[in-house]
């Protein structure tokens, strides 16, 4: 079983469910130790090539490369001496990721104007500043979680410059909003080097700008994959051979590119157990939520035994 997480830390409003609180994550580690054996992800990929694996083997992975992977996650892993793989997005070191900025702007504690034009948001064919016809009603009554997912879905498929413009528009409409928590910043180069120097940590790549790779022209997808691997190999001084597809977006062509860029395995987002016949470039993962140890145990058993 491969588990996928994002942040371990203190979240503000968390509409995408990306953060597990440190005390709860520690309970996850304790329960996993009772359940089975936490192994480096490489043991699971080696098992696909015929190597033995301990009973009930579980690998831990963390996507995106957040600062709190160094400041919160690593000390917990050290306490229990457990290995993990962190997949790092390389394009905006030290910056907030767009989805966390969006979450902060749409935080229910932050008052929004009654009307904003969302129709042209992230659509290069629409006049973004014309307003009026496409105005969506916001205000106090709107379901902020639904609004978050509606906008995040559009931003997730947009090129970085359109995303940036859309966030600037939202910030102008909503007024200066709260920032995401500091732990939600992307690792800087120096922080990444420090994290990678731990023998418990394997660094994998997660592209430069976190696009949906399957939707990109092949040359752009290739650049996203190769540049992120190259940057991480330079910063860590290690052979980076793991990859994770942002937003779970992949295709046969993308997997071919990942493989020819030197990755030996890649994690996807579909929820399943790894089996003897799993494709190493399409490794499934389960995604635990921000819940405590008792619920994690039931959750794991249900997935392991298919209950
Ligand atoms: Zn990601």
**Per-residue pLDDT reduced to its tens digit, 196-234:** 999 999 999 999 999 999 999 999 999 999 999 999 999
**From ligand 1's centre to the CA of 64, what distance in Å?**
5
Q: What is the mean pLDDT of residues 18-41?
A: 97
What does the pLDDT read at residue 248? 94
Helix (H, G, I), strand (E, B) or coil at 186: strand
Report strand pairing: 7-8 vs 84-88.
unpaired
Report strand pairing: 19-20 vs 115-117.
unpaired
**From ligand 1's centre to the CA of 99, what distance in Å?**
10
**From ligand 1's centre to the CA of 5, what distance in Å?**
10
The Cα–Cα gap between 165 and 96 comes to 15
DSSP code of residue 97: P
DSSP code of residue 228: H
What does the pLDDT read at residue 122? 65
Reported as a single tens digit per residue, the pLDDT across 237-295 is 999 999 999 999 999 999 999 999 999 999 998 999 999 899 999 999 999 999 999 99
- Please name every residue paired with 267 in a beta bridge, in sequence order, or none if there are none: 244, 283
Residue 261's CB is within 10 A of a number of other CB atoms, namely 18
Report strand pairing: 135-137 vs 115-117.
antiparallel
pLDDT exceeds 60 at position 137: no
**From ligand 1's centre to the CA of 71, what distance in Å?**
19
**From ligand 1's centre to the CA of 279, what distance in Å?**
20
What does the pLDDT read at residue 136? 57
Is 31 in contact with 296 (CB distance < 8 Å)? yes
Q: What is the mean pLDDT of residues 131-137?
A: 45
pLDDT exceeds 50 at position 303: yes
The Cα–Cα gap between 274 and 1 comes to 6
Residue 291's CB is within 10 A of a number of other CB atoms, namely 15
- Please name every residue paired with 88 in a beta bridge, in sequence order, or none if there are none: 64, 205
What does the pLDDT read at residue 119? 67
The Cα–Cα gap between 114 and 136 comes to 8
**From ligand 1's centre to the CA of 21, what distance in Å?**
18
**From ligand 1's centre to the CA of 26, what distance in Å?**
22
**From ligand 1's centre to the CA of 141, what distance in Å?**
30
Q: What is the mean pLDDT of residues 9-20?
A: 92
Could you tell me the end-to-end alpha-carbon distance of the chain, in angstroms, rounded to an integer? 15
What does the pLDDT read at residue 133? 37
The Cα–Cα gap between 247 and 154 comes to 12
What does the pLDDT read at residue 117? 66
User: 306 pLDDT band (50/70/90 cuts)?
Assistant: confident
User: 135 pLDDT band (50/70/90 cuts)?
Assistant: very low
Q: Which is more confidently placed, 261 or 105?
A: 261
**From ligand 1's centre to the CA of 244, what distance in Å?**
8
* Percent of the chain whose predicted confidence (pLDDT) is above 70: 91
**From ligand 1's centre to the CA of 128, what distance in Å?**
27
What does the pLDDT read at residue 76? 98
- Please name every residue paired with 176 in a beta bridge, in sequence order, or none if there are none: none
What does the pLDDT read at residue 297? 96
**From ligand 1's centre to the CA of 90, what distance in Å?**
11
The Cα–Cα gap between 279 and 113 comes to 48
Q: What is the mean pLDDT of residues 55-59?
A: 96
The Cα–Cα gap between 296 and 29 comes to 10
pLDDT exceeds 90 at position 176: no
**From ligand 1's centre to the CA of 206, what distance in Å?**
7
Q: What is the mean pLDDT of the chain?
A: 91
**From ligand 1's centre to the CA of 302, what distance in Å?**
25
What does the pLDDT read at residue 131? 39
- Residue 199 sits at the vertex; the CA angle it makes with 96 and 17, to the nearest 5 degrees, is 35
**From ligand 1's centre to the CA of 132, what distance in Å?**
34
**From ligand 1's centre to the CA of 247, what distance in Å?**
6
Residues 6+ apart with CB under 8 A from 205: 87, 88, 90, 225, 228, 229, 232, 240, 242, 243, 244, 263
Q: What is the b/e burial string over 224-237, where b = at least 16 CB atoms within 10 angstroms of the residue's CB?
A: bbbbbbbbbbebbe
Query: Which pTM value belongs to this model?
Result: 0.93
The Cα–Cα gap between 177 and 107 comes to 9
Q: What is the mean pLDDT of residues 82-94?
A: 98
**From ligand 1's centre to the CA of 57, what distance in Å?**
24
**From ligand 1's centre to the CA of 115, what distance in Å?**
31
The Cα–Cα gap between 178 and 107 comes to 8
Q: Which is more confidently placed, 109 or 53?
A: 53
What are the CA-CA distances from residue 20 to residues 9, 65, 141, 176 (Å)? 6, 15, 28, 27
């Amino acid at each position: 079983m491969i588990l996928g997480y994002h942040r371990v830390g203190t979240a503000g409003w968390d509409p995408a469910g990306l953060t597990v609180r440190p005390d709860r994550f520690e309970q996850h580690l304790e329960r996993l130790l009772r359940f089975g054996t936490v192994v480096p992800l490489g043991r699971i990929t080696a098992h696909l090539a015929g190597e033995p694996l301990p009973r009930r083997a579980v690998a831990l992975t963390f996507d995106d490369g957040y600062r709190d992977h160094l400041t919160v996650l690593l000390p917990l892993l050290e306490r229990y001496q457990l290995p993990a793989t962190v997949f790092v997005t390389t394009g905006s070191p030290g910056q907030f990721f767009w989805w966390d900025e969006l979450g902060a702007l749409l935080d229910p504690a932050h008052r929004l104007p009654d009307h904003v034009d969302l129709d042209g948001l992230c659509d290069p064919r629409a006049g973004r500043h014309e307003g009026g016809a496409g105005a969506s009603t916001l205000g106090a009554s709107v379901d902020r979680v639904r609004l978050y997912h509606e906008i995040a879905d559009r931003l997730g498929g947009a090129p970085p410059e359109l995303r940036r413009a859309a966030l600037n528009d939202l910030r102008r409409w909503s007024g200066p909003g709260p920032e995401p928590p500091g732990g939600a910043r992307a690792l800087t180069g120096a922080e990444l080097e420090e994290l990678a120097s731990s023998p418990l940590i394997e660094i994998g790549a997660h592209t430069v700008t976190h696009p949906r790779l399957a939707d990109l022209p092949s040359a752009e997808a290739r650049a996203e994959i190769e540049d992120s691997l190259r940057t991480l190999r330079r910063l860590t001084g290690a052979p980076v051979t793991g990859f994770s597809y942002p937003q779970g977006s992949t295709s046969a062509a993308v997997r071919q590119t990942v493989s020819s860029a030197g990755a030996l395995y890649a994690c996807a987002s579909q929820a399943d157990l790894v089996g003897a016949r799993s494709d190493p470039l399409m490794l499934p993962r389960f995604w635990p939520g921000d819940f405590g140890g008792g619920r994690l145990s039931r959750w794991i058993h249900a997935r392991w035994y298919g209950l």
